[in-house]
Amino acid sequence: MHTYASALNLIGVTVPGHLVADAEVPILTGPQAQGDLLVLPTTPPSSDDWQIVSATGVQVIHGEATGNTHWLHPGFDSPGVSWLPMTGRRHSEDDLAVGYLRVPHGQAALLIHTDEHGANGIGAGDYVLNRKRQAHVAFEGAPRTSRTPHPATSPLFSDLVDD
């Protein structure tokens, strides 16, 4: 099992002082979140373009403003972990997928964030890695779109609305 320190060591980064270096990274197979990135079980598209995730890792999202990056790595003894990036692929403007991950039975992948969010251990299965969409609250009189929830109907904002 990886600790946060052993996971960060894979990408040559030391553990920030505000995080626990010897915290174990659990291996999970359900939905997960890491900052602005979601890992969701799915059925991936059929493709011949899957790439083995090498020991040097894959930058899934490069942190442009802060320099913090989400890195995808194979876990210990996990040579079959593969990645299907969405870069250069046709997908709708609404599609938040940055790529797909395949972890074979008995293997694991690590999603490592360089500064803030620690590391996630990802167990056997197929996953889509999605960026999160920001929820926006409509102002009174502002045009509504299908992506703009009404505060009274949104569970995140229902406590803020006076009836």
CB 84 within 8 A of CB 99: yes
Contact residues for 29 (Cβ-Cβ < 8 A; gap 6+): 41, 122, 123, 124, 125
Question: Is residue 53 over pLDDT 90?
Answer: yes
- For the stretch 82-137, pLDDT in tens is 999 987 655 544 578 899 999 999 999 999 876 666 788 999 999 999 987 655 44
CB 154 within 8 A of CB 71: no
Record the tokens describing residue 46, joined without a space: 């059929």
Q: How far apart are CA 27 and CA 111, in angstroms?
A: 11
CA angle 130, 136, 137 (to 5 degrees): 150
Model pLDDT, residue 20: 62
- For the stretch 64-73, pLDDT in tens is 555 567 889 9
- pTM (whole model) above 0.75: no
